[in-house]
Amino acid sequence: MPETDLVLFLEAAVRLGVPLALAAMGEAITERSGIINIGLEGSIIGGALGGALGALATGNAAAGVLAGAGAGLLVAMVFALFSIGLRTDQIITGTAVTLGGLGLTGAVYQARFGATGTALTLPTLAPMSVPGLSQIPWIGSALFDQAPTAYLSYALAPLLWYYLFRTAWGLELRAVGEAPDAAQAAGVRVRWVRFWATLFGGALAGLAGAHLALAHAGTFAENMSAGRGFIAIAVVVLGRWNPLWVLVAALLFGAASALQFLLQALGLDLPYQLFLALPYLLTLAALAGWVGRSRAPAALALPWPKER
Amino acid sequence: MSRNHFAVLLFALLGLSACTGQQDAETPGTFRAALLTAGPVSDAGWYAGAYEGLLLLRDSLGALVSHQQTRTPAEFDEAFLSYASSGYDLIFAHGFEYQDAAMRAGERFPNTTFVVSGGGRFADNVVPLIFELEEGSYLAGMIAAGMSRSGVVGMVGGVAIPPVEGTFLAFEAGARTVNPDVQVLESFTGSWDDVAAAKEAAVAQLGRGADVLIHNVDAASFGVFQAVRETVAAGGTAWALGMNRDQNDVAPDVILGSAVIRIPESFLETASTWQTGTLGGRPIYAGASEDVIDFVLNPQLLDVVPAELVAEMTAVRELIRAGELTVPRVPFVEGEPGVR
């Protein structure tokens, strides 16, 4: 592979990995609290539309990113009110939120921009080159000539790791996800912690959506989240609920996706479905070989309190 | 608990109903037409054209119209059932994927006529409407090869279904008539709506030296146009071509022209034939000679396309219209050579 191909491939890998990393790191925090938010897809598409509308309204991409995070948070709040507040089944509620999110964003988009759609011209988040670091051979431009949202994901991974494993708040969050009854007995407000963990996950998924619309595609299209919410949930498992590994897993997944486009453009005479399956085969292999030794938070997906 | 589940379902229904635009009204004497799409009509392309077609039936023929977007193949039968059983006369199912469900529905509802865009099977009341988009795509290939400085052009597709493979085959053939040595790259993303994936597929092709890109996806086409725009913004030279609908105004700064299906006019023609009672039992072929397929240059970029190239393309278009030139396609309709 010539050097330029490799550099282009690595750049694409990071571009495709960043939205997964943001959404999956948020979901890792949510799952650590014992809540599995299948409605992540709804937060991502909400964040994409919120980001697009926010950027259009203010003429400022950064404001759009904030609006996207807010939209993702609002979608997650719907999920939290039902699944934590009313103790509904988390899987069913999450599915409903995903379907509702995809439908509502489509309706809003068509109402605002016409039923037949168009490619919006949005203020976009331009890549920002980090002086020095972006000059590193091979990986410099891939890692350090990216949109600001990429740097946010690099920064969040260690911060969230520190929060989870080195602070009292992180300990509370994990206790709520492993043994909510014991946590409550120790004076932790279980539902309150879960509520905020879910909103945080939604806000990061919204950021992922805003990244898709403002830093990647430069436009909004219905269904543009294209299943990334579900892939992010797999990335959480692949990253063993640890934000640092989640970032690595997301970039790995991005690399597998980028590889399929490179291989197709190289004109290899193989069925394209083989390339499309690549990221998923990788996930299966990783799950079988590596995550086998890990386990999910013990109270994950269980409504709490059990009786009332 | 059941109360809570009910609340959840209500929320889901709210979301789902938001994306189905039912526009019923009871007036006697008119007919009812419905449209099924497997993706959002806001794609400024394949589905958008069909939606415009449905509205044309309402405005020109006074039809009572309704549109539904099916989200999964499991909903195909359900959608046919709901329309046919509530008295819809003419149902346009806009896509190759509907053909088997349409055949099942056709057997069950003999008084309803099912038109399947790009379908491959037919019965007395199931009619494939075959858009010979290859003819437009062939002309697009000529423009692409004529405009390429690098001698490399690219195609980004969603899923390799026969109608899409046909357009790519013809694009390549058209390109070779202008430059026999042209290199044609082909990528599929597996999704019609994934803008980011289509953009990365386009970026990878541009990185391999391609400088004119065509697509056959739905809303994901925005990603192809965006990739070309970014190449231009970075000081490079690249162009895009539209497909399925006149997309010249979707990204007027980079789209040289579009291989167009005049879907609304074709739907109107089909509905008029149905009104005369002669629709059914055989596929409808709609191509350049019926003025359904065309290649439309972007008026805003006319000055960048050499006049000789335009003249060459126009001459070939006349040959195709007159039936003197047959464009290669991938056969997929029952009774065509090579199809069971």
Check residue B314 and give its pLDDT.
97
| Beta-carbon count within 10 A of A64 CB | 28
Cα separation, B85 vs B78, in Å, equals 10
**What's the pLDDT tens digit per position in B192-251?**
999 999 999 999 999 999 999 999 999 999 999 999 999 999 999 999 999 999 999 999
- DSSP state, residue B123: B
Token pair belonging to B304: 């960048």
| pLDDT tens per residue, range B127-166 | 999 999 999 999 999 999 999 999 999 999 999 998 899 9
- Alpha helix positions (H), B212-331: 221-233, 263-275, 307-321
CATH placement of domain B134-260+294-321: 3.40.50.2300
Interchain contact, B19 vs A107, CB within 8 Å: yes
Q: pLDDT per residue over A202-228, tens digit each? A: 999 999 999 999 999 999 999 999 999
DSSP summary character for residue A221: -
Calculate how close chain A gets to B29, using CA atoms only, in Å: 28
User: CA nearest A122: which of A72, A198, A56?
Assistant: A56
Tell me whether residues A110 and B42 touch, CB distance under 8 A.
Answer: yes
B193–A221 C-beta distance less than 8 A: yes
What whole-number distance in Å separates Cα of residue A216 and Cα of residue A17? 11
Q: Which of B160, B210, B250 lies nearest to residue A272, judging by beta carbons?
A: B160
Give the other-Cβ count within 10 Å of B203's Cβ: 25
Distance of alpha carbon B27 from alpha carbon B61, whole angstroms: 13
As a whole number of angstroms, the distance between CA A188 and CA A304 comes to 13
Interface-testing mutation among B222, B247, B250, with chain A (most A C-beta atoms within 10 A)? B222
What topology does CATH give the domain B2-132+264-288?
A: Rossmann fold (3.40.50)
**CB nearest A224 (choices: B48, B52, B194):** B194
State residue B156 phi and psi, 5-degree precision.
Answer: -115, 120
Binary contact (B203, A272; C-beta < 8 A): no
> What are the backbone angles phi and psi of residue A128, rounded to the nearest 5°?
-115, 125
A265 and B160: CB-CB below 8 Å? no
Task: Single out the residue of B81, B86, B82, B136 nearest to residue B104, CA to CA.
Answer: B81
Give Cα B84 to chain centroid, integer Å.
24
Tens digits of residue pLDDT in A230-254? 999 999 998 999 999 999 999 999 9
**Chosen from A261, A269, A272, A276 to mutate, greatest number of chain B CBs within 10 A:** A261
- pLDDT of residue B91 exceeding 50, the answer is yes
ipTM of the assembly?
0.91
* pLDDT tens figures, B165-183: 999 999 999 999 999 999 9
Chain B partners of A119 at a C-beta cutoff of 8 Å?
A: 44, 221-222, 225-226, 250-251
Facing residue for A116 by CB, picked from B44, B193, B196: B44
Do B134-260+294-321 and B2-132+264-288 have the same topology in CATH? Answer: yes
User: Are the C-beta atoms of residues B201 and A261 closer than 8 Å to each other?
Assistant: yes
In angstroms, rounded to a whole number, what is the distance separating the alpha carbons of residues B69 and B19? 7
Task: Report residue B77 CA to chain centroid gap.
Answer: 22
Q: How far apart are CA B158 and CA B145, in angstroms?
A: 22
pTM of the model: 0.90
Closest Cβ–Cβ partner in B21, B196, B225 for A212: B196
Q: How far is A222 from chain B, CA to nearest CA, in Å? A: 7
Residue found by looking up tokens 């007995």 in the block: A185
Residue B276's pLDDT is: 93
Q: Which residue of A has its CA nearest to B223?
A: A217
Between chains, do B208 and A93 touch, taking CB under 8 Å as contact? no
8 Å CB contact of B5 and A226: no
The CATH-assigned architecture of domain A3-117+151-293 is Orthogonal Bundle (1.10)
pLDDT at B23 over 70: no
Q: Do B201 and A114 touch (CB under 8 A)?
A: no
CB atoms within 10 A of CB B75: 16
Domain boundaries, chain B: 2-132+264-288, 134-260+294-321
Length of chain A: 308
Distances (CA, A) of A28 to A99, A173, A241, A252, B270: 22, 11, 5, 17, 53
pLDDT, tens digit, 9 for 90 and up, residues A126-180: 888 899 888 888 888 889 989 999 999 999 999 999 999 999 999 999 999 999 9
DSSP string, B17-72: HHT--B-----TT--EEEEEESS-STTSSHHHHHHHHHHHHHHHH--EEEEEE--S
**Which regions of B61-198 does DSSP assign to beta strands (E)?**
64-69, 90-93, 113-117, 126-131, 152-157, 183-188
Shortest CA distance from B246: residue in chain A: A118
